[in-house]
Amino acid sequence: MDFEDLKNSVENCKFCKEKFGFTPHPVFWGEKDSKIVQISQAPSSTVHKTGKPFTDASGKTLKKEWYKISDEEFYDTKNFFIGAMAHCYPGKDKHGNDKLPPKCCFDKWILKEIDSVNNKMYIIIGARAAKCFFKDKKFTDLVFNNQEINGKVAVVLPHPSPLNKKWLKDHPLFVEKRLPEIRIMIQECLHN
Ligand code: SF4
């Protein structure tokens, strides 16, 4: 399947409708030659409504504080392919928390997308997404050292969600030392 067919199929996918109990809204953002493939967990309820990734509190932290890039740069699909472990917001559990992303989406779509983009680097966001790519490695080691996916450099970030404050507090070197390194890698990737 070529990239445009893949994109079209994802955007029209309703595979999880019964499981969710509502009509899925697949969010697809990127193109065949996006320079950076970014994979996080799943769209939030806000993104389910807007159809645009990272338009929530996590997105504000990621774009403004961590990457320090403008919305114009971030949402330019020549720069970023913005994916997740699942393309759709999965709904809430009985405790009012977002459900985990459906596993089927990763095998059904995400792996194919990753193989079809001619990117230069990967950014993997959050421990759950990291587990999909690096099953046996400790999350902290993944964050503080460059990794590799498909022979290309990959960096792993903690989730920028306001719910993840404890990890950031326990690992101050992430903001002080690792983030500046990652910012340089992103800038070099976007501008070279
Ligand atoms: S989560 Fe993935 S597999 Fe499920 S409906 Fe959305 S696009 Fe389809």
148 CA from centroid of ligand 1 (Å):
26
Say whether pLDDT at 62 is over 90.
yes
Asked whether 63 and 54 are in contact (CB, 8 A), the reply is: yes
* Whole-number average pLDDT of the chain: 95
Q: How confident is the model over 150-184, as pLDDT tens digits?
A: 999 999 999 998 888 899 999 999 999 999 999 99
The predicted structure's pLDDT at residue 56: 86
Radius of gyration of the chain (CA): 16
How far is Cα 153 from Cα 36, in angstroms, rounded to an integer?
10
CATH, residue 175: 3.40.470.10
Mean pLDDT of 121-127: 97
Mean pLDDT of 4-25: 96
Domain containing 187 equals: 3-191
Helix (H, G, I), strand (E, B) or coil at 53: coil
Using CA atoms, how far residue 148 sits from 9, 14, 155, 160, 188, in Å, is: 28, 32, 8, 22, 17
| DSSP code for 164 | G
In short, whether 157's Cβ falls inside 6 Å of ligand 1 is no
The predicted structure's pLDDT at residue 57: 87
Handedness of CA 176, 182, 185, 191 (dihedral sign): negative
Asked whether 45 and 93 are in contact (CB, 8 A), the reply is: no
Mean pLDDT of 101-107: 93
145 CA from centroid of ligand 1 (Å):
31
**Closest protein CA for atom 6 of ligand 1:** 88
- How many structural domains are present in the chain? 1
Say whether pLDDT at 140 is over 90.
yes
Q: How confident is the model at residue 77 (pLDDT cuts 50, 70, 90)?
A: very high
**Closest protein CA for atom 4 of ligand 1:** 16
Name residue, tokens 């971030």: 74
The predicted structure's pLDDT at residue 192: 84
Q: How confident is the model at residue 121 (pLDDT cuts 50, 70, 90)?
A: very high
Nearest in space to 133 (alpha carbons), one of 167, 157, 116: 157
Using CA atoms, how far residue 157 sits from 49, 73, 129, 164, 170, in Å, is: 25, 19, 10, 11, 14
